[in-house]
Amino acid sequence: MNQTLSAFGDIEARYTLLKSVAGNAAKLGMDYYTRRENLTVIHKENDLQDVVSVADKAVEDYIRCELSKAFPSDGFLGEEGGALDLEARYLWVIDPIDGTSCFVNGLHSWCVSIGLMVDGLPVLGAIADPNHGELFHACRGAGAFVNDTVIRVHAAQHVREGLTGVGTTYRRGKESFLPFLQGLLDEGGMFIRNGSAALMISYVAAGRLIGYYETNLKSWDCLAGLVVLQEAGGIASDFLRNNGLLDGNSLLVACPGVYEQLSDLVGPSLDTDC
């Protein structure tokens, strides 16, 4: 362990366990996915866009159980299970199924996302995509990987040199979405949306996308991906600003060559609480 990582305590054991738990959680999610026609699906707060299934709850329960058995003093923040001991030095941030709407509708754009914060700093991240057999993972200061292969961000210097991921919801911030798309198209860029923030951040880290902009995310959507992105050489806006851990924020991530250009297209919304 290098000196930088030693400052985070027993991080190697947590990293090893994280990769195993994320992979097994994805397998559990896939078991539910193959039986999705029989799942009970609930619309959160009577909103048709935000849904939760039995699978979300079961996968998060599994993740919390496995991590807490090994590290009982760690805290948790999960999309389904809420917060437990937010003041703990080690805080796991969990999205059991990122892309639930895709999951319940039979689309392959979903994954398991687990991040770890140590002393308020994102340090570990794992994003498991069972549909494509990929595990994106990173430890702060130790590089970023998909399975066992090192990944790096794209070398693009202009938005027309690749694809930009985008996303929005009904939440505050959506007013910035169409102007961003218009500006991107005016610059000769092109966009995609796949329904999973964690996967699109991972794709930026792997050089598949040159950037990704979302008008509003929760921390469990992106915390793990931000570690992978940083270790792959990418740049991200300050998601944790203005209590982003609990309240969420807009997010821009990109390779260094296009970050400033995309930031200019987003405008001042990156500097305010969404």
Which amino acid makes up residue 88? A
Q: Is 151 annotated as a binding residue?
A: no
Q: Kind of pairing, strands 90-98 and 75-78?
A: parallel
Q: What is the dihedral of CA 221, 141, 269, 87, to 10 degrees?
A: 60
Q: Is 119 annotated as a binding residue?
A: no
Q: Is the dihedral of CA 262, 222, 113, 174 positive or negative?
A: negative
Q: Is 79 annotated as a binding residue?
A: yes
Place of tokens 């994320």: 22
Q: Is 98 annotated as a binding residue?
A: yes
Q: Is the dihedral of CA 177, 183, 186, 192 positive or negative?
A: negative
Q: Which residues contact 150 (CB under 8 A, 6 or more apart)?
A: 143, 144
Q: Is 129 annotated as a binding residue?
A: no
Helix, strand, or coil (residue 55): helix
Binding residues for Mg(2+): 79, 95, 97-98, 221
Binding residues: 79, 95, 97-98, 221
